[in-house]
Amino acid sequence: MISIRQIHPVFAGEVSGADLTKPFGAAEVAAIEAGMDRCAVLVFRDQRITDDQQMAFTQNFGAIENAKGGNITKDDQYRLKQGMVDVSNLDKEGKPFERDDRRRIFNLGNRLWHSDSSFRAIPAKYSILSARSVASPGGNTEFADMRAAYDTLDDGTRATIEDLVCEHSLMYSRGSMGFTELTDAERAMMKPVRQRLVRTHPVTGRKSLYLSSHAGNIVGWLVPESRDFLRDLNEHATQRELVYTHRWRQFDLVIWDNRQTMHRVRRFDETQPRDMRRTTVAGEAMTAAQAEAA
């Protein structure tokens, strides 16, 4: 029997009674979906799963998102099989990246508050992250509840943002860190997409602020105005009361709803392996009409 205990005053739950090495029945899938709609982040402890088991579990909630276009790793450098997103600090041989490795520097972008795949026209539904080995101290992952962020805005701000649309691109998140050397092919891959700033959850009807480090401007606003306002909203959304900090143990698995949360990873000793493997559940719809191709 699956049960879920809330572990933070605002959101996030811990699941007990689930074994992810075994196929899930319809009732178990429904219990997790309902828990996700309520808690937005769910933690499972002690799940010693294989990549195939992780992918099978993921498919209970929708199709696996095609990872293409999400990073600068070349096909022949890939450590994991198709369907798995490698968010570790490891190269193909399992060794931590050198300090100046371009892939490492690109991955530093995960330390900025973001929502996975907000740079895709159809952004992700859930992300499912399995800790195969952990680096400590550090390497915590923090989550912010964007429904609570929306609910605690003042009326004027809520009215201002209701119909705003932002442009999101990996170019903006990486650019904000000073990572600006991109090939023409990478630039083409990072073409901005449009996302609403306020989303409505398809099941619960709750509204949330849809922010991400990938958001670089608000359509129709000047860039400095956009950045100033987005910075303000991000500050509001990530105030400590609205943040759950996950301290990883080996074989933890965490699911989050990218439509209702942001997350970021904190610093850790990068000479140690931190083997984190993600699967992503594809979203079902665009949040905004896309601009005509230039």
Chain residues that interact with Mn ion, rule: CB under 5 A:
116
Q: How many contiguous H segments (helices) and E segments (strands) does the chain have? A: 8, 15
Nearer to ligand OGA, 168 or 278 (CB): 278
- Polymer length of the chain: 294
Task: Provide the minimum distance between the beta carbon of 74 and ligand OGA in the complex, in angstroms, as a whole number.
Answer: 20
How crowded is residue 181: how many other Cβ atoms within 10 Å of its Cβ? 9
Under the criterion CB under 6 A, does residue 40 sit at the interface with ligand OGA? no
Under the criterion CB under 6 A, does residue 127 sit at the interface with ligand OGA? yes
Sign (positive or negative) of CA dihedral 16, 20, 22, 24? positive
Nearer to Mn ion, 116 or 252 (CB): 116
Task: Provide the minimum distance between the beta carbon of 274 and ligand OGA in the complex, in angstroms, as a whole number.
Answer: 7
By a kind-dependent CB cut-off of 5 to 8 A, residue 141 interacts, out of Mn ion, ligand OGA, none, with ligand OGA
d(CA 167, CA 8): 32
Per CB under 6 A, the list member of 263, 275, 287, 288 interacting with ligand OGA is 263
Backbone angles phi, psi at 47, to 5 degrees: -105, 95
Task: Provide the minimum distance between the beta carbon of 151 and ligand OGA in the complex, in angstroms, as a whole number.
Answer: 24
Q: Are the CB atoms for 80 and 51 separated by under 8 Å?
A: yes
Task: Provide the minimum distance between the beta carbon of 276 and ligand OGA in the complex, in angstroms, as a whole number.
Answer: 4
Task: Provide the minimum distance between the beta carbon of 36 and ligand OGA in the complex, in angstroms, as a whole number.
Answer: 16
Under the criterion CB under 6 A, does residue 265 sit at the interface with ligand OGA? yes
Subset of residues 274 to 293 that bind ligand OGA, contact rule: CB under 6 A: 276, 278
Task: Provide the minimum distance between the beta carbon of 177 and Mn ion in the complex, in angstroms, as a whole number.
Answer: 15
Per CB under 6 A, the list member of 90, 129, 197, 218 interacting with ligand OGA is 129
Under the criterion CB under 6 A, does residue 259 sit at the interface with ligand OGA? no
Q: Are the CB atoms for 223 and 166 separated by under 8 Å?
A: no
First-to-last C-alpha distance (Å) of the chain: 53
Task: Provide the minimum distance between the beta carbon of 228 and ligand OGA in the complex, in angstroms, as a whole number.
Answer: 25
114: DSSP letter: B
**Contact characters 134-173, ligand OGA, x per CB under 6 A:** -------x--------------------------------
What order of strands is seen across the sheet that includes strand 243-246? Answer: 243-246, 141-145, 261-265
With DSSP H G I counted as helix, E B as strand and the rest as coil, what are the percentages for the chain, rounded to 5? 30, 25, 50
Nearer to Mn ion, 116 or 275 (CB): 116
Burial class (CB in 10 A: 0-12, 13-18, 19+), 17: exposed
Q: Which residues bind ligand OGA (CB under 6 A)?
A: 87, 110, 116, 127, 129, 141, 263, 265, 276, 278
